[in-house]
């Protein structure tokens, strides 16, 4: 039985894709947040809520909030939401003032993979 080069190439590509995609899916990626990334809001939130694609290890996951690029905002301890182990809640200790904020997050999924990222939002 003979196979064409095109068929063998397609089969090899499919195999490599299948073997590597499971590792990518195991990482906790930010899927949404409140306030949303790049949003402009008019009401100051009482907390940040970060939703991930995987369940998290709360002791090794968290976020830092900075205002205008260099002023760290005081927050409470990050914890998992009662609605799911893939949602991290970060209470804010004081009301936010107008300006641009950056959320820098780090997450450890329950299978041991660590991810990091950041996004901004603006309070008018």
pLDDT digits (tens, 9 = 90+) for 5-56: 555 444 444 444 444 444 445 699 999 999 999 999 999 999 999 999 999 9
Looking at residue 69, what is its pLDDT?
83
Alpha-carbon dihedral sign for residues 32, 118, 78, 59: positive
What is the structure's pLDDT at 2?
58
Spatial separation of the C-alpha atoms in residues 47 and 50, rounded to whole Å: 10
Q: Which residues contact 7 (CB under 8 A, 6 or more apart)?
A: none
Q: Which two tokens stand for residue 124?
A: 């008018």
Q: What mean pLDDT comes out for the span 107-112?
A: 95
Give the span between the Cα atoms of 120 and 101, in whole angstroms. Answer: 5
| Cβ within 8 Å of residue 45, ≥6 positions away | 34, 35, 92, 96
pLDDT single digits (tens) 78-99: 999 999 999 999 999 999 999 9
Report pLDDT for 3. Answer: 55
pLDDT of residue 97: 97
- Residue, of 112 and 14, whose pLDDT is higher: 112
What pTM was estimated for this model as a whole?
0.79
Across 70-82, average pLDDT = 96
Q: What is the pLDDT of residue 6?
A: 58
Q: How far apart are CA 88 and CA 84, in angstroms?
A: 9
Per the listing, tokens 């299948």 go with 18
């Amino acid at each position: 039985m003979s196979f064409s080069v095109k068929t063998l190439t397609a089969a090899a590509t499919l195999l490599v894709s299948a073997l590597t995609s499971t590792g990518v899916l195991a990482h906790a990626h930010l899927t949404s947040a409140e306030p949303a990334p790049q949003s402009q809001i008019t009401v100051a939130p009482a907390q940040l809520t970060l939703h991930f694609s995987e369940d998290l290890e709360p002791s090794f996951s968290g976020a830092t909030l900075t205002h205008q690029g260099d002023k760290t905002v005081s927050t409470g301890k990050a914890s998992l939401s009662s609605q799911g182990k893939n949602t991290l809640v970060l209470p804010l200790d004081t009301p936010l003032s107008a300006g641009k904020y950056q959320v820098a997050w780090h997450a450890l999924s329950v299978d041991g993979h660590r991810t990091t990222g950041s996004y901004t939002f603006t309070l008018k």
